[in-house]
Amino acid sequence: MQWATDRGLQTTIGAAGLDLQVPQESLTMQPNSQNLVSIGLAIGLPQGYYGRIAPRSSLALKGIDVAAGAIDADYTGEVKVLLVHNGPQAIALSQGEQVAQLICKCIGLPDVQEVEALMPTTRAGGFSLTGRAVWVHDPTKHNPLEGEILANGPGDTHLVLLKGEDAPIYVPSKHLSSRQP
């Protein structure tokens, strides 16, 4: 990594990243505010890496977090940190105070291929859909069957494992409910 700054970069042996500090005299963050802070550091990352701006736990205790934190390998220039203050009181940050870390990570870009449909897995669904207990209403049976959603299926179906069964089945969404009738 290449870097240019008018002062040294602080870090410790074994640290995950480079410490990013407030270069100004001081910075006061008002409650429920955002500040884009120029760090006084310019970088050039090696090909195959990206930089991640990570929050510091010491600032999180004060209600300050870091937003928008990826720096692409083809970016060269000044590093800025978007600080978000969610606390109820103004917070003053002193010159030299560490506000974030710059972590350099290797990028593992996969070979991307367009397909007609994705293969279902046990982790598909997102937003807490997988693992949800459901009742399967089989029109040929009187009582609904208890099951668990494993994944989204093709079309408007879900891959469901019925209680007491070893193999999952695809069930149309219209035959599922989240409560026992």
Whole-number Å distance between alpha carbons of 172 and 150 = 14
Q: List the domain boundaries for the chain.
A: 2-106, 133-177
pLDDT at 156: 80
**Which token pair is 62?**
């004060």
Of the two residues 68 and 125, the one the predictor is more confident about is: 68
More confident of the two residues 95 and 123: 95
Q: Where are the alpha helices (DSSP H) in 47-140?
A: 57-60
**pLDDT at res. 127:** 45
| 147-153 own/partner pairs: CB under 8 Å, 24+ apart | 147/171, 149/125, 149/176, 150/120, 150/122, 151/120, 151/121, 151/122, 151/123, 151/124, 151/125, 152/120, 152/124, 152/125, 153/120
Q: Which CATH class is domain 133-177?
A: mainly beta
d(CA 129, CA 31): 36
Please compute the mean of the pLDDT values over residues 92-120 and round it to a whole number: 85
> CATH number of 2-106: 2.60.40.10, 2.70.40.10, 3.30.300.30, 3.40.309.10?
2.70.40.10
pLDDT digits (tens, 9 = 90+) for 140-158: 878 888 888 888 777 788 8
pLDDT in tens, 38-62: 888 888 898 899 999 998 888 888 8
CA 175/CA 31 separation, integer angstroms: 49
Name, in order, each residue with C-beta under 8 angstroms of 10's C-beta and a sequence gap of 6 or more.
18, 19, 21, 98
What's the rounded mean pLDDT across residues 168-177?
87
Side by side, the strands of the sheet bearing 157-162 are 169-172, 157-162, 145-152, 133-136, 176-177
Residue 159 scores a pLDDT above 80: yes
CB 54 within 8 A of CB 101: yes
Single-letter residue type at 169: I
